[in-house]
Chain A
């Protein structure tokens, strides 16, 4: 019970030494090999554009919504993409509610850079009426459980929800063609977003000893490691972004090794995301077929004898 009274969670010195010593023999405490990813499971909610990703013990949900707004004046033909990350206090006892801390901001920026600068999402297709109406796509990422490596899990969740999101179809109307009519989903089938490629974030962990290199650290390993690097690559072999903010210095050959590893991992993760999205789309199409409702609710009768 005493352990619960502390707000912050700290790893003991014995635990830290155990993890480091095990890594010298290329053993990780959860039994993985140094370059092995944890099991990724991608699930979707009932609505379009909501996904839940579990990476080992890390759990993240991502919700995509869109709104019609006026575009920026210097970019009248482009839509907008914005990412909001919420480090919910339910994920980790040290996360505070309220304004996002620096970890949350960094995570949001990494995912934002991967999607926006690499032009993964086509923003020009979001323009309805140049200078007047464009779609502003908003991605809300909620971290539910911090089991380590939040960046990768959040990135996969954001991609999965973007791929399953459908925006309402709209057409121009009115007297001079300047009005936008948004068609409800029951009248006209909503449209998916145009996503050119999938930038996958892969995180590496560095330690004091040069020979130790990890992929996909758990939160125990994150407390022990001395430096981290997140590379965002896609299955075509393009490097979309690299983020290494401070920490242990690493030689060039280690960086090149990491990039090569990342490209091979990205291919398998991309395939996993695409398979999950396809399964969801099939199930969605089946749901469109009107069926007799099979919901078996609980029937409640009034109390006869009071």
Chain B
């Protein structure tokens, strides 16, 4: 069963991805991520001394500032900041630099659907560029459920128009896929490989349980492709480690 998408993509096709690191001079780490027309810029400063008032001083703290393209900062931006902060807290190794704050700034340059996944991917690349210690990368994808009643009709990477038209959509964040050189293979949790775990899932609209699981399957498959893209991108551009002050 095929769905006609405006830009001619098939169900499982992602938009063209582009990512560049180290684009800002003052920030310690920076990255720009674009999926089709959606473009997000992320910058990282840190670690800086001290943590905020309500934070645990025995661990590093991550602070996220989200700047929309135009308009005042409202509840939606605060929600994105919170989701991004929790996602990044789970991938960074917080015990390495206790009592410090790492600031992540997100600037939306253009929004054409899949804004939060692009921001998470950009933030991850910026953290790598800044040299912040992390356990693994976070790979984020957005899937939407096309029609009700016809289960299994899930399309990947919807544009803004598609997000508004469709029944429901989900933003999913997975750990990146691992290429292991150890004989025992990649690390696993309770028998399942670590890349099957979900770090974050945000859904909008109602969908049946089966639809959600189908989204997860498709998202996981897409995250492998995204991980490959990230790996190639990181290997090509070596990180400039001499960013002082």
Contact = CB atoms under 8 A, between A and B. Distances in A.
A299 B221 CA distance: 10
A25 interface: no
A147 to B, nearest CB: 6
A140 B71 CA distance: 8
A295 B69 CA distance: 25
A4 B47 contact: yes
A102 B45 CA distance: 23
Contacts of A301: 12, 221
A47 interface: yes
A57 to B, nearest CB: 4
B243 to A, nearest CB: 8
B7 A293 contact: yes
Interface string B81-99: 0000000000000000000
A300 B41 contact: no
Contacts of B39: 45
A165 to B, nearest CB: 12
Interface residues of B, number: 49
Contacts of B221: 300-303
A119 interface: no
A144 B41 contact: yes
Interface residues of A, number: 42
A90 B100 contact: no
A298 B229 contact: yes
A97 interface: yes
B45 A93 contact: yes
A202 B132 CA distance: 39
B201 interface: no
B25 interface: yes
Q: Taking chain A's interface residues, is the majority helix, strand, or loop, or is none over half, making it mixed?
A: loop
Interface in B56-104: 65, 67, 69-71, 100, 103
B47 A145 contact: no
Contact of A140 (B24, B69, B156, B224): B69
Given A295-B8, A300-B221, A65 B70 contact: yes
A45 to B, nearest CB: 6
B48 interface: yes
B12 A295 contact: no
Contacts of B24: 59, 90-91, 144-145
Interface in B220-237: 220-222, 224-225, 229
A203 interface: no
Interface string A58-74: 01010101000000000
Interface string B1-27: 000000111101111110000001111
Contacts of B71: 140
A230 interface: no
Contacts of B12: 299-302
A286 interface: no
A59 B222 CA distance: 34
A92 to B, nearest CB: 6
Nearest to B130: A4
A297 interface: yes
Contacts of A63: 69-70
A46 to B, nearest CB: 5
Nearest to B25: A57
Contacts of B48: 4-7, 93
7 contacts: A3-B244, A5-B49, A46-B110, A140-B70, A293-B8, A295-B36, A302-B218
Q: Which 8 A-B pairs have the closest CB atoms?
A: A90-B43, A297-B13, A90-B105, A3-B245, A293-B8, A300-B12, A5-B49, A298-B14
Given A63-B70, A298-B229, 18 more contacts: A4-B48, A6-B49, A47-B110, A52-B109, A57-B25, A88-B67, A90-B24, A144-B43, A145-B26, A145-B27, A147-B26, A297-B15, A298-B13, A298-B225, A299-B10, A300-B14, A300-B225, A303-B221
